[in-house]
Amino acid sequence: MSDGSTLDHHSPYETPLHRDESALAGMWLFLASEALLFGGLFLVCLIYSHTRAGGWALGVRHTNLAIGAVNTLILITSSAVFTMAVEAARRGDNRRVVRAGLGAAALGLAFLALKGIEWGQEFGENLFPGPRFALHGPDFGGAELFYSFYFLATFLHGMHMVVGIGLILWISRKAHRQAFSPAWNTPVDVVGLYWSFVDLIWMLLFPLLYLIGRA
């Protein structure tokens, strides 16, 4: 089995370095397109948090700050743990890559579990926008708008989390098979970039959905 440090005769790349640089550039390009997606969402959220400030603040005050804060710590820790996997892969320490990868994936699953609990509470309190929306008063429209963005943003982020966990488990499986070495560890770098991006998106979502207007 090839360790990825060499090319076969049918490879479209001139050298292993060309292949690895192309993989990293491809991930950066993909993340740039994702930044445009989330950037538009953040911009709309910021606009409405000012133009519909009363309703936005009303919605923010009904989010679960404790779960949001714990999930923030979980994601920061998960990114730090996967950074250990990246460093281990560069040394060719596949055993440590497996440990760090599984640790990062477990933390990601914990994040999703807490988010599922939070969503369950919000559905139980009729905070999903629609005819049974629980919040009333003069700021009703702004609060419903807030929760429309809240559920859309957290759903999109959650889907990216699912993909990221799947990629980390794939990396862990390859490391279990002793796939990485100092000569070839690009897949770990690529997945590390993606996982850091998912973490960064949550760092931006957290103040927008849990803090702005809460006081």
Question: Per residue in 104-147, pLDDT tens?
Answer: 999 999 999 999 999 999 999 999 999 999 998 888 899 999 99
Domain membership flag for residue 176: yes
Domain membership flag for residue 23: no
The whole domain housing 111 covers: 35-211
Domain membership flag for residue 25: no
The band of 9, judged by pLDDT with boundaries at 50, 70 and 90, is very low
Residue corresponding to tokens 């990601």: 108
Three-class SS state of 199: helix
Three-class SS state of 184: strand
**What domain count does the chain have?**
1
The band of 10, judged by pLDDT with boundaries at 50, 70 and 90, is very low
Could you tell me which residues are beta bridge partners of residue 181?
184
- Asked if the model's pLDDT at residue 62 lies above 70, the reply is yes
pTM: 0.89
Q: Distance (Å, rounded) from C-alpha 55 to C-alpha 140?
A: 6
CATH code of 69's domain: 1.20.120.80
CB atoms under 10 Å from CB of 1, counted, come to: 6
Domain membership flag for residue 165: yes
Domain membership flag for residue 80: yes
Q: Torsions phi, psi of 198, nearest 5?
A: -60, -40
Angle at 45 between CA 204 and CA 119, to 5 degrees: 70
pLDDT at 6: 55
CA dist 96 → 26, 80, 81, 107, 171 (Å) = 26, 14, 11, 16, 12
Q: Distance (Å, rounded) from C-alpha 21 to C-alpha 160?
A: 24
pLDDT at 50: 87
- Cα R_g (the chain), whole angstroms: 21
pLDDT at 101: 97
Question: Per residue in 12-56, pLDDT tens?
Answer: 555 556 667 777 888 889 999 999 989 988 898 889 888 999 999
Domain membership flag for residue 3: no
pLDDT at 1: 41
Domain membership flag for residue 114: yes
Question: Per residue in 155-193, pLDDT tens?
Answer: 999 999 999 999 999 999 999 999 999 988 999 999 999
Domain membership flag for residue 73: yes
**What average pLDDT does range 98-105 have in this prediction?**
98
pLDDT at 214: 84
